[in-house]
Amino acid sequence: MKRINSKQFSWLTILLCMPLLMACGWEDMPAYEEAEISQAVFYYRWDSGKKDAITGEPIVAEKQLSCSSEVDSEQAVVNVTVKIPAADATFTEAIRNQVTQKLLWGTARISTAARIAPTDGAPELGTPGDWTHANKYIVTAADGTKKTWTIRITAFNH
């Protein structure tokens, strides 16, 4: 009896699975139409003073700020109240005092299968940005529906 090598086994597996993949056509998948933002969260990052043992690159430390989002879906506005947490062993008082709205990393929770992109000079989410003013983002639903949102920090408390 002839043995099947790994390459032949891979092709055989693909051929056997093909009917299953064809049975689940993309047209059967739901096309989500929601282009919503349900929450915005902010972080502060800084050089921890430590180096990666392998690369020698600085290790970045991160602290999630306490955020409360007020979402107005009709107006497409997210107002966020941000409170800087108390100092601790890694988030010292000196680092805490450096936190400003001019250098925060923002994230947003968006609808299933949607995409989000900055517009009008807003910072890319997940990168450092200036949040002293409102920033605009376009959320695109899976079906192509677009909605322009405004995210702004309305209160920034130490």
What is the CATH code of the structural domain delimited by 37-157? Answer: 2.60.40.4120
Between 120 and 11, residue with greater pLDDT? 120
Domain ranges for the chain, please list them. 37-157
What does the pLDDT look like over 71-115, one tens digit per residue? Answer: 999 999 999 999 999 999 999 999 999 999 999 999 999 999 999
pLDDT at residue 31 above 90? no
At 102 the pLDDT is 97
Of 67, 148, 56, the closest CA to residue 104 belongs to 67
pLDDT averaged over the chain?
A: 91
Alpha-carbon distance of 60 to 39, in angstroms, equals: 25
Please give the pLDDT value at position 12: 74
Full-model pTM: 0.79
- Checking phi first, is residue 39 left (phi over 0); if not, alpha (psi -120 to 50) or beta? beta
Distance CA 144, CA 33 (A): 7
Integer-rounded Cα Rg, in Å, for the chain is 23
CA dihedral 15, 20, 25, 31 (to 10 degrees): -120
